[in-house]
Amino acid sequence: MILVVGGAGYIGSHLVKELVEKEQVIVLDNLSTGHRYLVDDRTVFVQGDLGNKADLEPIFEKYPIQAVMHFAANSLVGESVVHPLKYYQNNVAATLTLLETMLKYNVKNFIFSSTAATYGIPNVELITEDCPTNPINPYGRSKLMIEHILADFASAYGLNYVVLRYFNAAGAHESVEIGEDHNPETHLIPIILQHLLGQRDKISVFGTDYDTPDGTCIRDYIHVTDLAKAHILALEALLSGKKKTAVYNLGNGLGYSVKEVIETCEKVTGRKAIIEYTARRPGDPARLVASSQKIYEELGWKAEYSLEQIIESAWKWHSRNVK
């Protein structure tokens, strides 16, 4: 069986939706930011905390766990700056408890949902895995700490792992049964769609004078189902012995500007947005786009969904789930 921690969250639930077609799945989630309704009914669901041995050990004792997939991090950059203790406790200390429990029960395969925030602000057109890691906030640092810990555990204890770094997950499952449900919402595409559904008065665009073709920031967006498929390919590579350790970026290789995203949302929905152009936010780089060449060459993965398809899937979900 495969244990998915954080499987009731946005990305975790989409991974589970794909994974249950191939494997028996246990989901562990404390539901602090995830939602029980997002978890596929074909799973074993346990409400609990990855940092609590009393929650973890019964799972490892009862079920034949082959691998663990970790999506249970706190992930708001701004919050991490204000509450670094929360981020180091959950993202680092609790993950150490999970890894310690895995070793105790001789479970040696680990897939880690990391972040391209580990790179900080690289001055390159396309971010590759050999770019220096220099995170600029506690969130990025907490993820990078775990990456270092995994490398040490691989050499000392024979842990096999794959780290996946990516920026902006977006979109919703084709079944429209699950989608992006954050509170508060901080991601651009759902914020625009909420506005176009009448749930927000306007959209704020922070900065129009960046060194990009239209002056707004360029970012990397990937459909959440594409991300799920990459995680499953990584799992298969570990379970088959094809890979012992690996770090991969997941990106679309193109990047889309804030204006492009807004215009595509308007096109998909047939609705016009009210936009407030305002000053840059401190620390926002002009362009953040990741290269996926390495994972394409080694595991055959590439992003399949276009920006328009991403937004179409998100629009179906949001328009069916207006709150």
Catalytic residues: 139
Short-list 226, 314, 206, 300, CA closest to 264: 314
From residue 164, alpha-carbon distances to 34, 97, 151, 156 in Å are 20, 21, 14, 22
Question: What does the DSSP 8-state code read for residue 94?
Answer: I
Within 8 A by CB and 6+ apart from 316, the residues are 172, 176
Between the CA of residue 187 and those of 28, 42, 180, 223, 261, what are the distances in Å?
25, 29, 9, 13, 12
Tokens of 179: 């989608």
Of 133, 150, 135, 131, residue with least CA distance to 92: 150
Three-class secondary structure of residue 306 per DSSP: coil
CA distances from 281 to 18, 74, 141, 215, 216 (A): 37, 22, 20, 14, 12
Vertex 33: Cα angle to 27 and 34 (nearest 5): 35
Cα atoms in the Cβ-side hemisphere of radius 13 Å centred on 260: 17
User: Among all chains, which residue has been given the structure tokens 């029960």?
Assistant: 105
